[in-house]
Structure 1
Amino acid sequence: MGWFDGMGAIISALFANDAWTLGDALRANPQALWTLGFLVTVLGGLAVMAIYRAVPFIERYFEPTIMVVSYLTIGGIIFMGVIDRFFLNGQPPWSTTVPPFLFLIMTWVGCSYNVKLRTHLAFAEFRTIMPRTGQFACLLLDAVLWLGFAWIVIVTSTQETIGAAANFRFMAGTDNVMQWWFLISVPLAWLLLSGRVFQNLADDLRNYRRGDVMIRQAVIGGDA
């Protein structure tokens, strides 16, 4: 079976709006799944980069807003859970299960934002002493590795999300909140990350051609 065989079945199952059917299509066409995942990673990342360039407000504030809202929501749920438990003799059963999923959202969206800031194992001190060609090669390697990671995570986390939807997994402690509502944030966050990778790669190509500085010191928690 070729790498593209079965892609039509997956796309048809997607538009059927049935998670069980989609899950069956993914399991029946694993090679097509990885091919489609690669296309989504690359084309989706380029689309995200285009959106960021077209709307600077989104580029600057979208990820930080999600991180801050998730963090404050986690803190609020935990705080109210403590008050309910020790002072009101009760605690919502979901107060210990929802925060980890919100942390999942905050973590991977934050990962995308830090790719923008280049604070993930940048080794700037080592790279700054390399010749320009070596610096560019390292930056290109960064892009290839990040896109490879994104490809793997998008495919595997999408499978897990569809499995959760197909099996009607509810959030523990609730009877109407689905797990896949939160799990889908993982492939979406890595799609944002792939957009940041292409954004950085475009900047690196421009700097290399113009003779500008290639490696800058990254600051965790800084702005760019």
Structure 2
Amino acid sequence: MSIWADTGAIFSALASQDSWEISNAMRSNAAWIFGASATVLGGLLVMFVYRAVPFVERHLERTVMVFSYLAIAMIIFWGVIDRFVFNNQEAWSTTIPPLLFMIMAWFGAAFNVRLRTHLSFSEFRTAMPRNGQMACLLLDAALWLGFAIIVVTTTTRLTALSASNFQIVLGTDDVMQWWFLITAPVAFLLMAGRVFQNLADDIDNYRNGEPLIKQAVIGGDV
């Protein structure tokens, strides 16, 4: 089959909502075309949603992070009480928190792309000429978008494989692993949206003569 036929097979498998069919279809190299298209189009859609609904832009990732963190804290706190007070321990109390931590980290990474707190090298770039600064910002966008495409493609494959094998979270009877894994491609679609937001801002600043490099602040606001 040609790569375009394989791409069509992926869309057909997704339409069928059959995890086994999706997993098989995603094994081909066409998965990279699908992943790249989904990341770019999904990122643009996220950017437009963020622009249309500022409340979502300000609170979506942070809400997911906060609730994930609170869930981790509650599970661990109760696990300590359960173990040392009641001499008991739920098996899932040590397997679900790491999955929640990954969710918190993925959405946090997406949010901090917007804040440019990932190795921004602001002091070094500020000393560069304006065209050099813009070149660095374009390189940032290309690298982050490429990273998002890789993660969306590979984690979508992993999610489909997990669902097709009916993998459950260790220590549980009916909690599926793919319920947690699917948040990875979702988070990196949000990251792609943040990349496009930054890129649009950089182009506007370059055209209008505004400063291109600003001091990144961890925990700042968008």
- The normalised TM-score by structure 2 is 0.98
- Please state whether the residue corresponding to 1:121 is helix, strand or coil: coil
Cα RMSD (Å): 0.9
CA contact (8 A) 1:4 1:31 kept: no
| Aligned equivalents of 1:12, 1:2: Cα separation in 2 | 15
Give, in whole Å, the separation in 1 of the partners of 2:31 and 2:183: 19
Q: Which residue of 2 aligns with 1:185?
A: 183
- In the alignment, structure 1 segments of 5+ residues that lack a partner are none
The corresponding residue for 1:211 is: 209
Residue 60 of structure 1 corresponds to which residue in structure 2?
58
Q: Which runs of 5+ in 2 are unaligned?
A: none
Q: Which amino acid counterpart does residue 17 of structure 1 have in structure 2?
A: Q
Aligned to 2:24: 24
Instruction: Look up the match of 1:38.
Output: 36
Q: Counterparts of 1:14 and 1:90 in 2: how far apart (Å)?
A: 43
Aligned partners of 2:26, 2:59: CA distance in 1, in Å?
A: 35
- Counterpart in the other structure of 1:4: 4
Alignment deviations for residues 112-139 of structure 1 (CA, whole Å, 9 cap, x no partner): 0000100000000000011110000000
Contact preservation (8 Å) 1:119, 1:218: yes
Q: Distance in 2 between matches of 1:151 and 1:65?
A: 24
Give the 3-state SS of the residue equivalent to 1:4 in structure 2.
helix
- C-alpha separation in 2, matches of 1:210 and 1:134: 16
CA offset digits 1:80-114 (Å, max 9, x no partner): 00000000111111000000000010000000000
Matched, 1:111 2:98: no
Aligned to 1:71: 69
Q: 1:209, 1:159 → 2: CA distance?
A: 40
* Offset from partner CA, 1:154-208 (integer Å, 9 cap, x none): 0001111111100000011111100000000101000000000000000000000
Aligned pairs for 1:88-127 (under 5 A) are 88-127=86-125
Is residue 148–residue 188 contact of structure 2 (8 Å, CA) maintained in 1? Answer: yes
**Does 2:175 match 1:174?**
no
- How many residues are matched? 222
Could you tell me whether the CA contact under 8 Å between 2:58 and 2:221 is conserved in 1?
no
Matched, 1:154 2:152: yes
Determine the C-alpha separation between the residues in 1 that align with 2:99 and 2:136: 34
Runs of 4+, deviation exceeding 3 Å: none
| 1:2 CA displacement | 4.5
